[in-house]
Each structure stands twice: as structure tokens, then as C-alpha cells.
Amino acid sequence: MVNMSDISARRTIIVFGRLAMREIRLEAARERQHGLQVMTFEQMAARLAGGLSQPIDNEALRAAIQESLPKTHLGELDRIKSLPGMVDAAVDSLHKAWRAGIDLRSRAVDHPRLESIANL
């Protein structure tokens, strides 16, 4: 049987980015906050779209970047693409561009860095 007080204790927090989501989840776990759901803007949009639109899974994006990074010409970023943290930086950059609605392919002519990110 469902306790009605449990339902009223449920709440959702929408955050900007994975780091904020992790921090809030950790804090909630430490404070034993049951019924708290933390989601990103992308996850909220997918929920509002009724499941017809899904954000890319972070692990799938990470795996795709790890696989394509050595083979992709990044122009001025070529010399740093093998450094630790490059995959995380690329994932974050792509997420930020997508959130901002930036069409990287059409903006690639504006700046060499945008072209590098568009190549990913």
C-alpha cells in the first residue's frame, strides 16, 4: 500500500550539468533525503517530450569520442588531444554547444576552435 505522505515528500530538482547533479545527489544521500529526484535539463526535456526525444547517454558519447579522437583532425587542438582530460573536455564542450543550440558545422568557418569541435 502506498503511504500518501511518501508521495507528497517526493520532489525533483533540475540542475545544469553533471557535476551539479552529482553534488546534489551526494548531499541528499548524506542527509538521507528520500524521494528526491535530480535531473539535468536534457533529462527534463526528454521527460516532457514523452520519451520521444532522448539526450545522448554520457557513456555512449564518451566512448564515441574516445574512439574517434585519435583519428579526427582537430587543427590547433591536435597537439593536446592525447592529454588526460581531453575526453572530458570534449564531452563538456559538445554538451554546452548542444544546450546553447549552436550549429557547430555552420559556425565552423567563424573560428578554428569551432571547426575543431565540429570535426568531433
Grid cell of 61 as nine digits: 558519447
* Beta strand segments in 1-120, E: 11-15, 36-40
Does residue 93 share a domain with residue 69? Answer: yes
pTM of this prediction exceeds 0.75: no
Q: Which residue range is the domain that position 19 belongs to?
A: 4-48
Does residue 77 share a domain with residue 37? Answer: no
The single-letter DSSP state of residue 99 is H
Q: Is residue 53 part of a domain?
A: no
Does residue 98 share a domain with residue 67? Answer: yes
pLDDT in tens, 26-72: 999 999 888 899 988 878 877 887 766 666 778 888 999 999 999 99
**What total number of domains does the chain contain?**
2
C-alpha dist (Å) from residue 25 to 6, 18, 30, 32, 49: 19, 10, 9, 10, 24
